[in-house]
């Protein structure tokens, strides 16, 4: 596919993203990124800020749909400079991405959850002399969107959210919700709680928040698959956002970029001095409290979902790019390292906020750049 001077974007009905030129992003039954952020609003890469380093060929990647809009913008900027590289990213979800990586089908994967020990073990079969590692590249808030007629501002806390999504609070005029919203005229409308039908890192991070911030009310183990009984389900973040938009009484969770298009979002009572809004800035503040828990070159993070810091929005996710620390495939290594170097750069990270994502805090990102430089 030859690169055209003027790239044009179009969103496919099943959530695929395609950019004519050296980029093709394709989704199969995943999130519809056409409802998310607009990559055309991202700052253009500065001339000379992208180093191609003789990279050429095709990179195949798969994984997190949460980062699809970021990848789209990055690939557009990168391939405009590195015309001999084609990048094909399929946002089929974190689970699909990790599987594709451990089976040797892709050069790198995106996942909203760090590799599990068994996944690291599986990666050693495809990383010659090395293993898969987690590189945090994209952050962002998981918004809780709602559709309650007549209610323009809504405050909830971890306890009420846990009870709502566990079916223990069933109407919007429940006393627990009313206590948090004394000025709101809450209707008797039945609550319609929607969760992901597919395995999702967004679900994993949302339920980690419930478990950390209200352990007495959320007894489930957690993970990419939804475990609580009851409620309704939909495919992908776009499916959840669509259900909230069209269903009176609905509530669900999805990346902030899907909450544009008129969907209202919950402010969280975290115990801070004031309820916290789901914004990029507030998510970045929460992510800055994360601790690096990976060993060696692995930079997996432990987020503080129970933070009570003023202005810190705790329902966040970090998307990792998963790559081999050693033993990357020779035919795609130069392109992989060159692309990862760009997206971890200041220019690459600076483009995120315009798309509704949170740049990785500087101290963590410095470690990411150092690790990318050492890949082999």
pLDDT for 44 equals 52
| DSSP element (H, E) containing 317 | strand 316-324
For residues 300 and 51, what is the distance between their CA atoms, to the nearest angstrom? Answer: 26
In this predicted structure, what is the pLDDT of residue 324?
98
CA angle 48, 54, 59 (to 5 degrees): 100
Is the CB of residue 73 less than 8 Å from the CB of residue 7? Answer: no
Q: 9 pairs with which residues across the strands?
A: 19
Tokens of 46: 């500065």
Distance of CA 59 to the CA centre of its chain: 21
**Model confidence over 37-77: pLDDT tens digits?**
444 445 555 545 799 999 999 999 999 988 988 999 999 99
Note the pLDDT of residue 48: 57
- pLDDT given at position 207: 97
Q: How far apart are CA 318 and CA 312, in angstroms?
A: 15
CB of 146 closer than 8 Å to CB of 244: yes
pLDDT in tens, the chain (376 residues): 433 333 333 333 333 333 323 333 333 333 343 334 444 445 555 545 799 999 999 999 999 988 988 999 999 999 999 999 999 999 988 889 999 999 999 999 999 999 999 999 999 999 999 999 999 999 999 999 999 999 999 999 999 999 999 999 999 999 999 999 999 999 999 999 999 998 888 999 999 999 999 999 999 999 989 999 999 999 888 899 999 999 999 999 999 988 977 899 999 999 999 999 999 999 999 999 999 999 999 999 999 999 999 999 999 999 999 999 999 999 999 999 999 999 999 999 999 988 889 899 899 999 999 999 999 9
CA dist list (Å): 263 to 11, 142, 145, 245, 257: 20, 13, 6, 6, 10
Which is it for strands 9-11 and 17-19: parallel, antiparallel or unpaired?
A: antiparallel
In degrees and rounded to multiples of 5, residue 278 shows phi and psi of -80, 95
At 209 the pLDDT is 97
CA neighbor of 154 nearest in space, from 139, 167, 144: 144
Q: How far apart, in whole angstroms, are the C-alpha atoms of residue 289 and residue 141?
A: 14
Please indicate, yes or no, whether the overall pTM of this predicted structure exceeds 0.85.
no
Query: Other C-beta atoms within 10 Å of 48: how many?
Result: 7
Q: Are 297 and 133 within 8 A, CB to CB?
A: yes
Sign of torsion over alpha carbons 207, 213, 217, 220: positive
Letter string b/e over residues 163-200, b meaning 16 or more CB atoms within 10 A of that residue's CB: bbbbeebeebebeebeebbeebebeebebbbbbbbbbb
**For 111-135, how does the pLDDT look when each residue is reduced to its tens digit (9 = 90+)?**
999 999 999 999 999 999 999 999 9
Q: Rounded CA gap, 252 and 43, in Å? A: 31
pLDDT of residue 12: 32
Distance of CA 166 to the CA centre of its chain: 23
CB-CB contact of 200 with 211 (8 Å): no
Contact 83, 19 (CB under 8 A): no
Q: Write down the pLDDT at residue 214.
A: 98
Closest CA to 110 of 20, 203, 226, 200: 200
- Lookup: tokens for 318: 């970090």
Nearest-angstrom CA–CA distance, 168 and 96: 32
Q: What are phi and psi of 268, to 5 degrees?
A: -95, 130
């Amino acid at each position: 596919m030859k690169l055209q001077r003027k790239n044009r974007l179009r969103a496919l009905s099943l959530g695929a993203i395609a950019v004519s030129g050296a980029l093709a992003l394709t989704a199969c039954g995943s999130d519809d990124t056409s409802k998310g952020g607009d990559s055309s609003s991202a700052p253009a890469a500065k001339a000379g800020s992208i180093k191609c380093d003789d990279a050429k060929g095709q990179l195949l990647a798969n994984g997190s749909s949460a980062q699809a809009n970021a990848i789209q913008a990055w690939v557009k900027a990168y391939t405009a400079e590195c015309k001999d590289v084609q990048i094909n990213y399929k946002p089929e979800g974190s689970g699909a991405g990790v599987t594709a990586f451990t089976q040797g089908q892709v050069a790198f994967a995106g996942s909203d959850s760090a590799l599990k020990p068994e996944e690291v073990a599986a990666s050693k079969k495809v990383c010659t002399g090395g293993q898969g590692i987690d590189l945090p590249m994209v952050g962002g808030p998981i918004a809780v969107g709602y559709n309650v007629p007549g209610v323009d501002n809504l405050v909830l806390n971890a306890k009420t959210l846990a009870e709502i999504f566990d079916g223990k609070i069933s109407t919007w005029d429940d006393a627990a919700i009313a206590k948090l919203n004394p000025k709101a005229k809450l209707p008797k409308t039945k609550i319609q709680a929607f969760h992901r039908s597919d395995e999702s890192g967004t679900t994993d991070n949302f339920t980690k928040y419930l478990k950390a911030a209200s352990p007495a009310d959320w007894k489930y183990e957690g993970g990419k698959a939804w475990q609580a009984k009851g409620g309704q389900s939909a495919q992908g973040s776009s499916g959840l956002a669509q259900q909230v938009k069209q269903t009176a009484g609905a509530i669900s969770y999805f990346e902030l970029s899907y909450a544009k298009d008129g969907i209202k979002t919950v402010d969280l009572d975290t115990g801070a001095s004031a309820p916290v809004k789901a914004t990029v800035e507030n998510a970045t503040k929460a992510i800055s409290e994360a601790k690096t828990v990976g060993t060696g070159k692995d930079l997996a993070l432990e987020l503080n979902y129970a933070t009570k810091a003023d202005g810190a929005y705790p329902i966040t996710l970090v998307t990792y790019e998963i790559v081999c620390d050693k033993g990357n495939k020779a035919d795609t290594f130069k392109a992989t390292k060159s692309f990862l170097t760009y997206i971890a750069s200041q220019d690459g990270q600076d483009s995120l906020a315009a798309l509704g994502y949170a740049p990785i805090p500087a101290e963590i990102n410095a470690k990411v750049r150092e690790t990318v430089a050492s890949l082999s």
